[in-house]
Amino acid sequence: MAVSPETFVIGFDLGGTNMAAGLVDAQLDVIDSLEMDTPTASQDELLTAMVSMIRDVSSRAPSPVSAVAFGIPSMIDRHNGRAVMSVNVPLADCDFVDYMQSRLDLPVLIDNDANLAALAEVRAGAAMGASEVIMITLGTGIGGGIIINGNVYRGSTGSAAELGHMVIDTEGPRCQGACENHGCFETMASGTALKRYATEEALKQPETALGQALSSGQVPDGAMLTSLALEGDSAALAVYEKIGFYTGVGITSLVNIFNPEVFVVGGGLVKADELILGPARRVLLERGLRPNRNLVKVVPAKFGAGAGVLGAACLALDELAATDHKA
């Protein structure tokens, strides 16, 4: 059962670097939004800032908000509304739903942020119409979402699809944040890895534009590296070739396991587009199993950084529709 066209919900996307809240209507149009840097000093500071953002966006709604849903980069216990453990944000052992409901006086839902990004891409984005979909989000870390038969796969408690912590190099660097593993996918292909590779290539090729930029004290980021790579800088191109290679290694394993129709790549790094996806597709075609490797479409996300907000809104609207149906 569809919700009323006059319904408004808030979708919240918490990332390791930025967080965003969006006021979304029943047609999945974002009416208003707010974004800020993610506080990382403490859990209390983070939760307080999230509540403040929701109240701010809610105050500007043309009619009362019906629900709010949060996508967070954490291991989730959906049955109990808990954020169990997070790698890149200060959130752990938190009764998240109870906390938010007590302060917002709204129905609150919670899910992994990459699950919700995948949901958005299936409902209205790059994987629209597909029922078997894998999505990864390349950002500070790597998130993952799995869609099976049109539904988000969450595992027994809600913490499945931590695809960023699939090990792809047992001799690789120690993973970041709270993860104690080595050589995880996100250690080898995330925005954090991008910066590490940039430093390495700058030292190898100090005469390049990248080498000169870092020697002058500039901090490498995706925007700088993309610009330099598109200008043909050999060091920047080498960085993206490496990111693309490891992205392709991860994609290959997931395509072999799940045989998806569509594999969506999102997150901040996907702005580099074919600088990453080109090498990744080559690795898939070289290493993947037939027929999976030949049938799957590897595509950039439609919604970019906005996928998390839209996916969270989908979750909220789905819950409202289910509640109306039961009533």
> Which has the minimum average pLDDT: 120-129, 154-163, 232-241?
154-163
Looking at the fold, whether 106 and 157 belong to one and the same domain comes out as no
- Residue 3 in any domain: the answer is no
Residues whose CB is less than 8 angstroms from the CB of residue 252 and which lie 6 or more positions away in sequence, other chains included? 283, 284, 287, 288, 293
Q: What confidence tens digit (pLDDT) does each residue in 40-87 have?
A: 999 999 999 999 999 999 999 999 999 999 999 888 898 899 999 887
Query: What is the per-residue pLDDT for 145?
Result: 93
Looking at the fold, whether 199 and 225 belong to one and the same domain comes out as yes
Residue in 159, 154, 134, 173 with CA at minimum distance from that of residue 251: 134
The structural domain count of the chain equals: 2
| Residue 240 DSSP one-character state | H
- Residue 109 in any domain: the answer is yes
| Residue 54, domain extent | 8-118+305-326
Looking at the fold, whether 236 and 93 belong to one and the same domain comes out as no
Dist. CA 16–CA 310, nearest whole Å = 18
Looking at the fold, whether 143 and 193 belong to one and the same domain comes out as yes
**Confidence band of 160 (pLDDT split at 50, 70, 90):** confident
- Residue 1 in any domain: the answer is no
Residue 2: pLDDT above 70? no
- Residue 78 in any domain: the answer is yes
Looking at the fold, whether 60 and 193 belong to one and the same domain comes out as no
Looking at the fold, whether 142 and 243 belong to one and the same domain comes out as yes
Q: What confidence tens digit (pLDDT) does each residue in 178-227 have?
A: 788 999 999 999 999 999 999 999 999 999 999 999 999 988 888 899 99
In this prediction the pTM is 0.85
Looking at the fold, whether 137 and 281 belong to one and the same domain comes out as yes
Looking at the fold, whether 313 and 293 belong to one and the same domain comes out as no
Looking at the fold, whether 195 and 64 belong to one and the same domain comes out as no
303: left (phi over 0), alpha (psi -120 to 50) or beta: alpha
Looking at the fold, whether 85 and 152 belong to one and the same domain comes out as no
Q: What is the mean predicted confidence (pLDDT) over 270-299? A: 95
Helical H segments across 162-306, by residue range: 185-189, 191-204, 209-215, 222-230, 234-258, 274-287, 292-295
Strand partners, 71: 13, 111
Residue 177: pLDDT above 90? no
- Residue 199 in any domain: the answer is yes
